[in-house]
A and B are shown apart, each in its own frame.
Chain A
Amino acid sequence: MKILVAVKRVIDYNVQVRVKEDGTGVVTDNVKMSTNPPDDNAIEEAVKIKESGKAKEVVAVTIGEDKAQETVRKALAVGADKGIHVKVDGIIEPLAVSKILQKIVEKEKPDLVFMGKQAIDDDCNQTGQMLAALLNWPQATFASKIEVKDKSLEVTREVDEGLETIETNIPSIVTCDLRLNEPRYASLPNIMKAKKKPLEQINASDLGVDTKPRIEQIKVEEPPKRKAGIKVASVEELVQKLKNEAKVI
């Protein structure tokens, strides 16, 4: 079995994001970038399945500018066998991403495609579902547990009401929740070894996919700031304030 994992390079989850003064976006210059956190879970799960003997190969793919290769190198350092970087500059929407991934799936013929359930930059939560639609494959979204069976997966999904279990035939798309597993760290020797693993580069334009944005970004602004609150000295004062000042209890 072969597992394709899609990874995205985003502003690190610990960075306090700042809006550009001209309203065109957020500041990315000299800002720490990392792999989108749930994409790390997707890679980890694929590598674990390979280690259990149920998969033979893990391929990591990213789409983006040259520096996006870092996320593929990181995936290779934690156990992916091969990397693919689809080069494209500028904003690329989930619909175009899923069309590019569809081309990669046709070329690589994986049995499973994993990715994070949501990217923490645009918070769209679309790509996995869109790719499943384009391929007419089952979709197991927001997965917190994956059991690989002979010809299917049993997936536990985190939903608003609690947990849901579904069974999807292979081939299948899975989008991963942060609780799926604990991603491992890349050891220094493995980081060195990853540099020797194959990393294929493809230009998005060669795939025949229209990546032109359909959504016009008019402006990006700071959200309204909350006005500073106060510290109370005691529980008694807190309850009095809630009762008599805020009038919420």
Chain B
Amino acid sequence: MSALLIAEHNNKELKPFTLNAITAASQIDQDLHVLVIGHSCEAVAKSISEIPNVKKVIHVDDAVYENYLPENFTPVVIKNSENYSHIICSANTFGKNLMPRIAALLDTSQVSDIIKVISADTFLRPIYAGNAFATIKSTDVKKCITIRPTSFDPAPTSGGSAEIVKAEKGESFTLTKFIKREEVKSDRPELGTARVVISGGRGMGSGDNFKLITAIADKLNAAIGASRAAVDAGYITNDHQVGQTGKVVVPDLYIAVGISGAIQHLAGMKESKIIVAINKDGEAPIFSVADYGLEADLFEALPQFLEELNKLNTIQK
């Protein structure tokens, strides 16, 4: 049997996490096919066909798929699922929204958010906000799996030439209407894939004070993250939240500023390669996961940090 992966894209470009999911999916089954559902998204289908791990691209194109709704995507996936042992997508808000709807209709107990492929039916996944790792074996004939993207390297994007097959649209669902998406445009690297992330917490005190973080992010070409407390307080928008119910990040360098380090926040960043904590409370739990802890007032430390960075001859980008 083969595996079927559902691509995430915006009709123009493939979303980067699909590449991580492709790596995991081809560890499960090398005969990996990718389903692209969208509108006027030939370029996306073509770019996927060039990924060496991908053996076949199934392209479903219709105006109804202009904006992604799981209610519309699910019938297409079900229709195309017959010859596959595994249905796979990334465990971000795209896949989390979609996969359970598919799994329920296939009468399959979904395996969410895997971080390691042990075999075609056995996987490792974090539970309890990453405070425990469970090794689990799926006994369903058809398996629905979502992949934690940051736990797998992105697949290479060139060198392949898979065939692209057109498939028919599925039944439309008329009871849900897409109205709008407010995307926060930014020139910075994406939070999920950035090499460096600098995050602010409640200790920042205000949204305005985040400019101290922005200045350093500019210097380090970093993405900006936040704790739930900072988002709840309105200092910054929700797409910056790192943690159990936000995004999971695994950068080379994670700098936590004014973040106490609740287990829910640690769940989203503790796999980072190097963690720096800046906090005036020396007892803050964030220090227990930090490689380098600086006990200091962030309002003094951040301007100094920028000054020290300015003194460096070179900075990795």
Q: Which residues of A contact B238 (CB under 8 A)?
A: 144, 158, 162-163, 179
The answer on a CB contact under 8 Å between B111 and A215 is yes
Contact yes or no, A160 B308, CB < 8 A: no
Q: Tell me the bound Cα distance from A223 to B128 in angstroms.
A: 11
The yes or no answer to A130 lying at the interface (CB within 8 A) is yes
Interface of B, secondary structure class, is mixed
Contact check, B110 vs A126: say whether CB atoms are below 8 A apart: yes
CB-CB under 8 A from B83, the residues of chain A are: none
Instruction: Give CA–CA (A132, B287) in the complex, Å.
Output: 42
**What 0/1 readout, one digit per residue, does chain B (228-248) give for beta carbons within 8 Å of chain A?**
100110000111000011010
Partner of A159, one of B101, B133, B181: B181
Tell me if B101 and A132 are in contact (CB < 8 A): yes
A238 CA to B291 CA in the complex, in Å? 10
A177 adjacent to B245 (CB under 8 Å): yes
Binary contact readout B96-131 vs A (1 if CB under 8 angstroms, 0 otherwise): 111111111101111111000000001000111111
* Interface: A16 (CB within 8 A): yes
Residues of A within 8 A of B179 (CB): 154, 165-167
In the complex, the answer to whether B132 meets A19 with C-beta atoms within 8 Å is yes
Judged by a CB distance under 8 angstroms, whether B74 is at the interface is yes
**Chain B positions 156 through 176: 1 when the CB is less than 8 Å from some CB of chain A, otherwise 0:** 000000000000000001011
Stretch of B46-54, B55-63, B134-142 on the interface side: B134-142
Choose from A129, A159, A238 the contact partner of B276 (Cβ within 8 Å).
Answer: A238
Number of residues in B with C-beta < 8 Å to the partner? Answer: 91
Q: How many A residues are at the interface, by size bracket?
A: 35 or more
Interface residues in A19-49 by Cβ distance below 8 A to B read 19, 26, 38
Q: How far is the CA of A140 from the CA of B93 in the complex (A)?
A: 12
Q: Which of B26-34, B36-44, B309-317 contacts A (4 or more CB under 8 A)?
A: B309-317
Residue among A13, A138, A236 with most chain B CB within 10 A: A138
Chain B's nearest CB lies how many Å from the CB of A34?
14
Q: Mark B170-207, 1 if CB is under 8 A from A, else 0.
A: 00010111111111100000001000100000000000
If the complex has contacts A130-B103, A214-B139, A242-B292, are A160 and B94 also in contact, measured as CB distance less than 8 A? yes
Could you pull out 25 A-B pairs where Cβ atoms are within 8 angstroms?
Answer: A17-B129, A95-B103, A95-B108, A123-B244, A125-B96, A129-B97, A129-B101, A130-B104, A134-B105, A138-B176, A160-B92, A160-B239, A161-B183, A163-B238, A213-B109, A215-B111, A219-B135, A226-B289, A230-B293, A231-B294, A239-B305, A239-B309, A249-B220, A249-B315, A249-B316
